[in-house]
Each structure stands twice: as C-alpha cells, then as structure tokens.
Amino acid sequence: MRRLDGKVALVTGASRGIGLAVAQRLVDEGARVCLTARKPEALDAAVAKLGGPDVAIAVPGKADDPAHQAEAVATTIGHFGSLDILVNNTGVNPAYGPLIDADLAAVRKTFEVNVVAALAWVREAHKAWFRDHGGAVVNVASVAGLRPAAGIGAYGASKAALIHLTQQLADELGPGIRVNAVAPAVVKTVFASALYEGREEQVAAQYPMARLGVPDDIAGAVAFLASADASWITGHTLVVDGGLTLKGGV
C-alpha cells in the first residue's frame, strides 16, 4: 500500500528506534521525509538507510531549540516543496524514581521537550504550511500518560499533558488539520531498555500478546493516523500496547 504518495513528512527524534521505524514506514508508503535528532552522524546513517536525498533529508539539532525547529521546517519545505505530516516523536526521561523526590530541573526539562517542544513544532509547521494547506500531526505519547507508572512519574505526567495537548489542538485546528496521538507500552528500543533489559520474559508475561512491542508496531499505527484512511479521526489517542492496559498495567 502506498497511501502516502506525494506526501512530505517531518519526523522528530528519528535517527533510531520508533522515529526511524516511522520514517521507514512513511517512505515505504510513498512519502518523502525530513528527520531530526541531535547527532549528525546517526542522522546521516538513517538517511542512507532510507534511500538518500531523493526520499530523505536530515536536519540535526535539539528538539526544544526554536531555531532548530524553524530551520527543519523551512528546509523540509525548501527541499521537498511542501509539509503534509508532522510526527512529534522526540521524548526524554531524565528523572527516574518517586516523583516526590524528583529533581525539579529534570522535571522541567521533561516537560520542555515532551510537551512544550511538541506544541512549538506544531506552531512552526502551522505558520509555515499547515495554516494555508492543511496537514496531519501525530504525537507519540505513552500508556504512562494514561495511568500512574512506577518510577517514571514525570515522564508519565508529561505524556498525559501531551495527550491533552493533542485533543486541544485537534479542537482548535480542525477541519483542515488533524491532530492525533499514539500511546505505546514498552517498545524494545535503546530509550526503553531500562524497563526490560535482563528480564524481558518476565515483563512480556504481563501482556496478553505475550511480547513487548517493536518499533514497527508503532510505525504502522502512526502511518495509519497520518493517512487519508484516518481522514475522519482527530483528537484521538490510539493505544498500541499489546493489551497491557486491559490488565491494568503500564
């Protein structure tokens, strides 16, 4: 299926893991993509993996840097001629442990990257393209934003805010712009490795599907929400969790 022929996407945090899998899926479905992340070398490798500058480019920088946001959006439009899809995938989790004891600087950074930067990316895309041409936004949230999650309270609170931000923007920006989110459970990535390394079988036993997620599981959901197949869906958070929340877990 090439549901995204002719579309152009910008995917943040896309040098590896979920972001790279999303970019790959979008390219496979016909889109051209701009990737962002902090490390130029990792981005260069990702662009090569996706097929080179005919289908993929990269703009390195920090997700919460306004100058980087403006550069990435402008470069995407300048290189590919449009911007139809924004995937806010960048996330950080510098605070682990009880929220009551968390370093407040780390909590602020979590919200700055996971929430405020996501809004800023939407605003930049809106100003440069979406306002006049429409578009689709997909935010990568987490099941930790749906209910309390031991040890990652700041992260979960930021993802709850991102889920609400998704609904708020969907209400404000329709009908021309759709805004949705996905909420994964544990996905086998470097980012989430502390949640399962050395005990994957034990963690997976909590899931009705009896396995942890892989990046491609999330990529398919993002591609669907970005495509015309989801043209009457906005303000929704699609839970992609192998059934974990059915059992009351996060």
Distance, CA of 54 to CA of 47 (rounded, Å) = 10
pLDDT at 250: 76
CATH assignment at residue 211: 3.40.50.720
> Is residue 2 a part of any domain in this protein?
no
Residues of the chain with pLDDT under 70: 1
> Is residue 177 a part of any domain in this protein?
yes
> Is residue 244 a part of any domain in this protein?
no
- The whole domain housing 35 covers 8-238
Q: pLDDT digit string (tens) for 45-55?
A: 999 999 999 99
How many domains in the chain? 1
DSSP 180-244: EEEEE--BSSSTTGGGTTT-HHHHHTTSTTSS-B-HHHHHHHHHHHHSGGGTT--S-EEEESTTG
Task: Identify whether 96 is a catalytic site residue.
Answer: no
pLDDT at 154: 96
pLDDT at 1: 65
Q: Are 235 and 177 in contact (CB under 8 A)?
A: no
> Is residue 1 a part of any domain in this protein?
no
> Is residue 35 a part of any domain in this protein?
yes
Q: Which of 96, 155, 196, 207 is catalytic?
A: 155
> Is residue 101 a part of any domain in this protein?
yes
> Is residue 184 a part of any domain in this protein?
yes
Q: pLDDT digit string (tens) for 217-226?
A: 999 999 999 9
